[in-house]
Structure 1
């Protein structure tokens, strides 16, 4: 970690103004050097306030900051790895690049990739995921696993529930989940989830999993293509009222995600997931590739699969219509 990062971390972790003299003493630098470093950080967009006789204070606003995220994580997550970027084609693509790195594959610690913008974000079936700069949360979680089999659908449902818990607790609203990967607020999609498995070419076993999360956090709907504006929503009004930074919200998502991840394969969370589902006891149309299936939803089983009244069990697909 260079001196710029050390100073940023020190100021970010301080709960009040910290003097330039104290920072200089901490890192054996001159006060002039600290002043120059802080100016550099301010020019990079970090919201550091300066006040005569008091020093420097980090006012957590909209700038992504690994140290602010870490500060709000529980102790059991303090060792996870982070990569923060101003722009990426896709955080999932970056996670796939890391998955082939020898150092990454030998390290069992999860890696979190976050970008302020995605230029080629994508969702299920390769659909484009609009990712405007400085407004959304675009994050991928790269996980190591020694499992020979994996239920991506169950992991996706667990992730959806974790995010609804975060939205409920932090923002005070009650989302619904549209099976299998969308979180809705006021019946409009605010969160998309894409789980991808990375398999070993030689053995064919799944040794890594990527959970991609996209959230319209402070997003303005006008920034999205016209053909989807009627279907998507944003947390902007709620977030602005509550004044919750992206950094804090990210830390809460990770807290809820890893709490569920440790036991998600048991399916114990499904009862709570069903309480938040918007599909139970409704007629739906599910699309799987070129095929369509219509039916009445009677259950979501402990593997996260959709159960229809006629006995059909679906572990994947897209719900394209919902009727009472």
Structure 2
């Protein structure tokens, strides 16, 4: 393990100041090695405060930190967490890692920035550095009849539970994969499968989540401001960091995931969904039509008033009554 990593882990595990000598003694390093490691961490952006004759103290200022994330995970979770300064896409990287047999599952990939983030239908997902949460989970799949819609809806509930636990927020869900706060999208979810060509089965799953956490609205084109939102206004009133949010989201996700195939969370999903009973415009491929939504079934599919059941598509407009 690198000296910088060891020093960061030690400082992250305490809220008090540690002297350079205490750090050196605990890690069996020289004072010079400690000083160089702290300087390197500060240069990389970690908020390590120093006080003369007292020592050093780490401050969680939203810089991604594996130690802080793991400290806030449920004791039952044993996850491989991989942090990246920048990736084209966490989902794409997860697909690459799916070929590595030495990595145990699940694997959590988190990037500080995405340069080619994408959502459904390959639409671009803006992912500016240091402010958002761009996270993918690589999972083995042992289900013969894997239901991607049900996993996407389960993930949406993991996000809403996290929001409700950490903020004074009542989020809503726009079928099938968007989580909204104050009527604006702050989170998108994308579930993708990885096929085993030899067995012709779906061997692994990638579930990607992109969240506008501390992202300022100036990061988005003005034409998106009516539809896209951010948690930034709520962060000003709380001390929640990206590391805390990520840990709580992972806690909620894996709590649901162990039994998600039962669909026992669907009543909660329906309660958060803003579509039931509404007249909407639906787009499927090149086709667009109007319909009334009567329900969402236990597989996360849209049930229309005329009896049709849709497992895919996009709601492009919700009519106000």
CA deviation profile, 1:56-108 (whole Å, cap 9, x unmatched):
1110012111111111111111x20111111110011100110112223xx2x
Q: Distance in 1 between matches of 2:71 and 2:54?
A: 22
What's the Cα RMSD here? 1.1
Q: Distance in 1 between matches of 2:65 and 2:299?
A: 36
TM-score (norm 1): 0.96
Residue in 1 aligned with 2:117?
A: 121
Aligned residues: 320
Q: Secondary structure at the residue paired with 1:75? A: coil
Residue in 1 aligned with 2:88?
A: 89
CA deviation profile, 1:151-188 (whole Å, cap 9, x unmatched):
11100000001101111110110000001000011111
Report matched runs for 1:140-151 at 5 Å. Answer: 140-151=136-147
Q: Secondary structure at the residue paired with 1:254? A: helix
Residue 32 of structure 2 corresponds to residue 36 of structure 1: no
Residue in 2 aligned with 1:112?
A: 108
Residue in 2 aligned with 1:133?
A: 129
TM-score (norm 2): 0.97
Residue in 1 aligned with 2:229?
A: 233
- Given the alignment, which residue of 137, 153, 160 partners 2:156? 160
Q: Secondary structure at the residue paired with 2:237? A: helix
- Given the alignment, which residue of 249, 259, 277 partners 2:245? 249
- Given the alignment, which residue of 189, 193, 196 partners 2:192? 196
Residue 102 of structure 2 corresponds to residue 103 of structure 1: yes
Q: Distance in 2 between matches of 1:155 and 1:317?
A: 16
Task: Verify the 8 A CA contact 1:222 1:229 in the aligned structure 2.
Answer: no
What is the CA-CA distance between 1:19 and the residue it aligns to?
Answer: 2.1
Task: Verify the 8 A CA contact 1:189 1:232 in the aligned structure 2.
Answer: yes
Task: Verify the 8 A CA contact 1:137 1:216 in the aligned structure 2.
Answer: yes
What is the CA-CA distance between 1:53 and the residue it aligns to?
Answer: 3.0
In structure 2, stretches of 5+ residues that fail to align are none
Q: Distance in 1 between matches of 2:51 and 2:211?
A: 35
Q: Distance in 2 between matches of 1:216 and 1:12?
A: 25
In structure 1, stretches of 5+ residues that fail to align are none
Q: Distance in 1 between matches of 2:46 and 2:281?
A: 47
